[in-house]
């Protein structure tokens, strides 16, 4: 009761929703995007991260993720949003991302990286392929070929497919870099490659 009466006054300001076109797992989203963003906002007294979420398809595959933030009243919102976008793009925010001011629904698109998804056939290949091949080898080799050296691995395992996702400067360059491997490694038979848009 006393805490309610005499506790800290709640901060006021404007709420913004960041939608990242990134198929990143929730825990990784927190470590990769949310925590650095929250630290940046708080250390500059700009605001704070107040929430986050992950949108999934019916299959369970991640579609995109959200970060909700509060920019404190009295701050220059436009300048802060520019700085936030610059920071997120440095972290690798993909094309197709955007930030929306909740009260006006004004939206700003951002993002520099292009995304590639590869879906491995999990049910139609010969049994010996699944017995003798390893999806971890596929992930490691694809990561090497596209030049990805980060700690965060993006993937999804469904009932009929396993997907790996990569983000880089060019979808076409990544696709070209992996084609020889995907055409020859048995576990990549019937795989499909898509651009994440």
State yes or no: pLDDT of 152 exceeds 80.
yes
Phi, psi values for residue 171, rounded to 5°: -60, -45
State yes or no: pLDDT of 178 exceeds 80.
yes
Q: What is the pLDDT of residues 83-121, one digit of tens each?
A: 999 999 999 999 999 999 999 999 999 999 999 999 999
Confidence class for position 21, pLDDT limits 50, 70, 90: very high
State yes or no: pLDDT of 186 exceeds 50.
yes
pLDDT at position 14 is 97
pLDDT at position 28 is 95
| DSSP label of 11 | P
Confidence class for position 151, pLDDT limits 50, 70, 90: confident
Instruction: Please report the domains of the chain, with CATH numbers, ordered by start residue.
Output: 11-110 (3.30.70.260), 114-196 (3.30.70.1280)
State yes or no: pLDDT of 189 exceeds 70.
yes
Whole-prediction pTM value? 0.89
Instruction: Over range 175-194, report the average pLDDT.
Output: 97
Instruction: Over range 1-11, report the average pLDDT.
Output: 54
State yes or no: pLDDT of 2 exceeds 50.
no
Q: How far apart are CA 166 and CA 197, in angstroms?
A: 12
Cβ neighbours around 108 below 10 Å, total? 16
The two tokens of residue 150 are 């980060």
Cβ neighbours around 79 below 10 Å, total? 10
Confidence class for position 1, pLDDT limits 50, 70, 90: very low
State yes or no: pLDDT of 153 exceeds 60.
yes
Q: How far apart are CA 167 and CA 73, in angstroms?
A: 35
pLDDT at position 9 is 56
Q: What is the pLDDT of residues 44-78, one digit of tens each?
A: 999 999 999 999 999 999 999 999 999 999 999 99
Average of per-residue pLDDT values in the chain: 94
């Amino acid at each position: 009761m006393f805490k309610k009466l005499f506790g800290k006054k709640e901060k006021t300001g404007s709420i913004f929703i960041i939608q990242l076109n990134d198929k990143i797992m929730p825990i990784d989203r927190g470590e990769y995007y949310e925590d650095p963003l929250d630290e940046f906002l708080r250390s500059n007294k700009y605001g704070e991260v107040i929430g986050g979420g992950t949108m999934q398809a019916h299959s369970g595959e991640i579609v995109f993720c959200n970060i909700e933030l509060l920019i404190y009243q009295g701050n220059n919102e436009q300048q802060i949003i520019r700085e936030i976008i610059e920071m997120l793009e440095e972290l690798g925010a993909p094309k197709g991302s955007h930030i929306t001011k909740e009260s006006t629904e004004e939206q700003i698109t951002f993002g520099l990286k292009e995304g590639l998804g590869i879906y491995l056939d999990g049910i139609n290949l010969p049994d010996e392929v699944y017995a003798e091949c390893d999806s971890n080898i596929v992930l490691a080799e694809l990561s090497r070929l596209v030049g990805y050296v980060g700690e965060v691995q993006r993937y999804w395992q469904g009932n009929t497919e396993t997907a790996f996702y990569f983000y880089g400067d060019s979808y076409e360059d990544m696709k070209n870099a992996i084609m020889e491997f995907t055409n020859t490694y048995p576990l990549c038979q019937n795989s499909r490659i898509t651009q994440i848009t």
